Amino acid sequence: MITSLKSRSIKESDFPKEADDLTKVTFLLHYAVLAPSSWNTQPWLFKLKDNVIQLFLDVERRQGCRDPQGRESIISCGAALYNLRLALRHFGFSEETTIAPISADGNLVAEITWESSGVPGRDNKLFKAIPNRHSYRRPFTEDVVAPEFIELFQNAAKVYNCEFIPITLNSTQMALAGMISEADKDLGSDLATRKEYASWVRSSGRSGDGVPGYAMGNMNTIASLLAPLTHRVFNYTDEFARGDQALTCATTLLGVITSPGDTPHDWVQSGQAVERVLLSATANGMQASFLNQPIPVPELRKRLQSLLGLTDWPQLIVRIGYPTDEPKITPRRKLEEMLITDKD
């Protein structure tokens, strides 16, 4: 069955060429769910009916303390939406996407109307990067990201009416590192937020979601196995703050994704923009991870706007560079867990 395949090991050759179109489109959801999400919460649901795919926010997977508005969760859904659209076009489907006006009464993020065109897409390099994109939480090499790649990332974000603002001045990078450390301490000072973080830490990748200890930077085997317990018992705020500050200072390219507004529509577009940026990086031998901690802290978000001279809204902070080793892969849930059926 299509839904019994594992998304993390999906291959282009698995595509069911002889199946009906609905089965083919269901297969393509495996690419959608490879999108990044905060603490690997995977906050998306899909419903397929006739030639329409509905993408919903799974509110039960929202981080209520850190993300009470669902901003980061909706951005994650936007990233999944981009992967799905890219996969549809790659396998010869045309699509029209409508972003829904998300409200308290409904959690519909977008509707994708598709039909078989038989014409493969042109962004093949980006599509092939989907399974190879992973959040890289360790230090990068000292290799500098070339200006042509920075321009590539800027153009990628503009497709979705967003901006990729590169951090190029050392003084700005140091100031941002201080903000990230301060945000770690601010968020970590709240016991409920710390417990929420801990609830998404896993000892291994068997649960299908969350961040396994082995993927959290430089943890050894014993520490990774004990991570769910230790993160509930101990306050790692200062350690996180020091580590994130060091990562920020050592990264050769930092970028801030901004949008003209701060509405759910802007969040979806930011998700599509950042995934196009990340896949562009992966396709050119780079990896990335997020340092978004100042964004959910209102005062720090304002300071970040001031630091960068922005009138637009900062939505994400990314670090991009060349990895020193293979990324530690986070798991994905089974596809059937993310499908809404008429029985639900």
Q: What is the rounded average pLDDT of the residues 127-131? A: 97
pLDDT at 168: 85
Asked if 247 and 291 touch (Cβ cutoff 8 Å), the reply is yes
More confidently predicted of 150 and 214? 150
pLDDT more than 70, % of the chain? 91
Q: What is the rounded average pLDDT of the residues 179-201? A: 87
Q: What is the rounded average pLDDT of the residues 132-153? A: 96
Q: Which two tokens stand for residue 41?
A: 């919460």
Rounded Cα distance between 135 and 329, Å, is: 8
Helix 147-158 to helix 264-283 angle (10° resolution) is 150
Rounded Cα distance between 246 and 243, Å, is: 5
Query: Residue holding tokens 């003084």?
Result: 171
pLDDT per residue as tens digits for the range 282-338: 999 999 999 999 999 999 999 999 999 999 999 999 999 999 998 888 999 999 999
More confidently predicted of 32 and 232? 32
Band of residue 210 on the pLDDT scale cut at 50, 70, 90: confident
Q: Which two tokens stand for residue 194?
A: 């710390």
C-alpha closest to that of 180 among 258, 312, 297? 297
pLDDT at 229: 47
Report CA-CA distances (Å) from 152 to 133, 138, 148, 273, 279. Answer: 17, 24, 6, 12, 11
Q: 101 pLDDT exceeds 90?
A: no
Q: What is the rounded average pLDDT of the residues 38-57? A: 96
Identify the DSSP state of 57. E
Q: 221 pLDDT exceeds 70?
A: no
pLDDT at 224: 47
More confidently predicted of 239 and 322? 322
Asked if 184 and 298 touch (Cβ cutoff 8 Å), the reply is no
Rounded Cα distance between 46 and 44, Å, is: 7
pLDDT at 223: 47
Asked if 283 and 128 touch (Cβ cutoff 8 Å), the reply is yes
More confidently predicted of 235 and 48? 48
Band of residue 219 on the pLDDT scale cut at 50, 70, 90: low
Q: 222 pLDDT exceeds 50?
A: no
Q: What is the rounded average pLDDT of the residues 71-79? A: 97
Asked if 333 and 208 touch (Cβ cutoff 8 Å), the reply is yes
pLDDT at 226: 46
Query: Residue holding tokens 């209102």?
Result: 298
Asked if 110 and 85 touch (Cβ cutoff 8 Å), the reply is no
Q: What is the rounded average pLDDT of the residues 220-235? A: 49
What value does the mean pLDDT of the chain take? 90
